[in-house]
Amino acid sequence: MDPKAIINSYVGDVIRHLPRRQRNDIALELQSLLQEELAERAASAGRPADAPMTMELLSGFGVPRDAADRYRPAGFTIIRASDAPRFTWIALGGIFLIWAITLPAALLGVTPIVGWDYGADTWWGRLTVWWLGTGIGALWWPGAVFVYALIGALAGRRRESGEIPWKPTPPRAIDRDLISRPVGALYVALGLLGVSVLVALPSLEALAPGLPRPVLDALALDPEFLSGRAPWILLLWAAILAVYVSVLLTGRWSLIALRIRGLLGMLTLGIMLWWVAGGPVFVSAGADTTAKALLIAIGAYAAFDAALALRRGWTRATSATPLKRSADSPTSRS
Amino acid sequence: MVDRGVQLGKLEQDLRKGVLVLAVLSQLRTQQYGYSLRQALAQRGMPIEEGTLYPLLRRLEGQGLLVSQWQTDDGPPRRYYELSAQGVEIQRDLTTAWGSLASVMDRLLEEED
C-alpha cells in the first residue's frame, strides 16, 4: 500500500473521533506533519518511504482513538477512585438482592407465568421465564446507579467553580451497638401487636363476626398449614422477643445478642421458605399468592438483617481480639 | 514484582511530563510548526514523541496560550504556532516557578548526598 494512502487512512480514522468543526483543520496539519516525519525517516534510512516504515511511524503515534483522545481536553471523573468500591457493592448488591427475592418467587411458582406455555409448570421453564424477564431485567439497577453517579458528577463539576471550603465536623462518639430505648420499646410493642393479629387470624370469624363473608373467606388459613407449619413460628417469635427485651434492658447489642439475632434471622428465612414451598398458606389462591410474595420478602429481609448482625458481631470479635491479646501479653503486664 | 528498568522508565516519564509544557512554551517565543519544534526540542536534549507533541500544541492553543496560522510561503502548507500575550505571561511565571523548584530540588538532593 502506498505510504501516502496509509497516512490518509490513519488520519481519517483519527479525525472520526474528533468534533466535526476541528476535523478538517487537524486532518490537514496531521497529514502534513506525518509526511514530514516519514520523509525524515526515509532520509535517515537512505531509502524511499515504504509501507512498513509508515506503519512503524504510525504505531509510534498510537492507535487512532488514543491519538484522538490526546487532542481533546482532559475529561471528568464520573466515579471517583474512593467511591469505586461502594459503587461496585451497591450496583452488584442490588442485582443480587433483586435476584434473591425474584428467583425463589419464580421457582416456587409464586409469580404467575403469563404467555409462556413451554415448560411453564417445570423448574427449568420457570427459570427460563425468570431469566428472560426479571433476571436480565435486574441489570436496570446498575444502569440507574450509574446515571445517578453521572448526574452527581455533572453537578459536582458545576460546583467546582465556586467550591465550598471544607470544614471539620465536630467529633462525636459513634456507638452503633447502643440502642434508643423509646424506639426499641416501640419496635417491640409493634412486633407484639403484629404477632397478636397473626395469632388471632385463625379465629377471625369468632373474634369479628361482623366482617363481610368475602373478607373472612380470603383470610381463611389452610388447615394443614395451621396444624403443621404454622406453630413453629411461635417458638421463633418467643426467641426473638426474648432477645429484643434483653437488649432493651441492657441498652446495647452485646456480641452474643448480635450472634443470636443473626441465627434467628437465618431461622426466619428457613421457616419462610418452608412455608412457601410446603404448600398453600391461605385457602384462597389470590391471598395465597400475595402472602407467599410477602413471605419471600420477609425472608430476604431477615437474611439481610442476619448478615448485618453477624458481620457486626464478627467485626467486633476481630477488633476486640488483638486488644485482648495485648492486654494479656507480658509487655502489658510489666 | 515490577521490572526495575520499566519502573524507572515510568517514573522518568512522569518527571518529564511535568516540564513538557514549559519546554514547549520556551521554544515558541518565535514561530515554529510542529515538526520543526520537535526537531528543536530534540536537538536541545528534550525529545518528545510526535503523538504527544502535536496534540499538546492544539490543547495549549485551546487554552489560549498559543496562537497559530497556516503559512504556505516556501513549501507545503504548515501550521505555525507562537506564544499569545497570555502565553508570554504564563511562560514567564512558569519559568520563575521552575527556577525556584529546581533550586529547592537541588538543595534537597544535595542534602541526600
**From the candidates A13, A30, A40, A44, which should be mutated to test the interface with B, based on the most B CB atoms within 10 A?**
A30
Q: What integer is the mean pLDDT of B24-45?
A: 93
What CATH number is attached to the domain comprising B16?
Answer: 1.10.10.10
Domain membership of residue B18 as a residue range: 4-101
Q: Is A137 on the interface with B (CB under 8 A)?
A: no
Asked if ipTM goes beyond 0.90, one says: no
What pLDDT shows up at residue A173? 63
- Residue in B33, B55, B62 closest to A70 by CB: B55
| Structural domain includes residue B106 | no
pTM over 0.80: no
**From the candidates A35, A41, A70, which should be mutated to test the interface with B, based on the most B CB atoms within 10 A?**
A70
Question: Which residues on chain A are in Cβ contact (under 8 Å) with B35?
Answer: 33, 36-37, 40
Reduce the DSSP state of residue A169 to 3 states and report it.
coil
Q: Which residues contact B31 (CB under 8 A, 6 or more apart)?
A: B80, B81, B82
Q: What is the pLDDT of residues B53-80, one digit of tens each?
A: 999 999 999 999 999 999 887 778 889 9
pLDDT in tens, chain A (334 residues): 889 999 999 999 999 999 898 899 899 999 989 998 899 889 988 899 899 999 999 998 889 998 998 888 877 788 888 889 999 999 999 999 999 988 888 887 777 777 666 777 788 888 888 898 889 999 999 999 999 989 888 887 766 655 667 778 776 666 777 888 888 888 888 888 888 888 888 888 888 877 788 888 888 888 888 888 888 888 999 999 999 888 888 888 888 999 999 999 999 999 999 998 888 888 888 888 888 888 888 999 999 999 999 988 888 888 765 544 444 444 433 3
Count the domains in chain B.
1
Asked if the Cβ–Cβ distance from A35 to B76 is below 8 Å, we say yes
Task: Give the closest-approach CA distance of A9 to chain B in angstroms.
Answer: 16
Question: Which residues on chain A are in Cβ contact (under 8 Å) with B71?
Answer: none
| Structural domain includes residue B41 | yes
| Structural domain includes residue B62 | yes
Q: Which residues contact B38 (CB under 8 A, 6 or more apart)?
A: B47, B48, B50, B53
**From the candidates B32, B52, B54, which should be mutated to test the interface with A, based on the most A CB atoms within 10 A?**
B54
Per the listing, cell 519559568 goes with: B95
| Structural domain includes residue B85 | yes
| Structural domain includes residue B57 | yes
The answer to whether the Cα torsion of A320, A323, A329, A334 is positive or negative is negative
Confidence of residue B26 (pLDDT cuts 50, 70, 90): very high
Asked if the Cβ–Cβ distance from B62 to A73 is below 8 Å, we say yes
| Structural domain includes residue B113 | no
d(CA B79, CA B82): 10
Tally of residues, chain A: 334
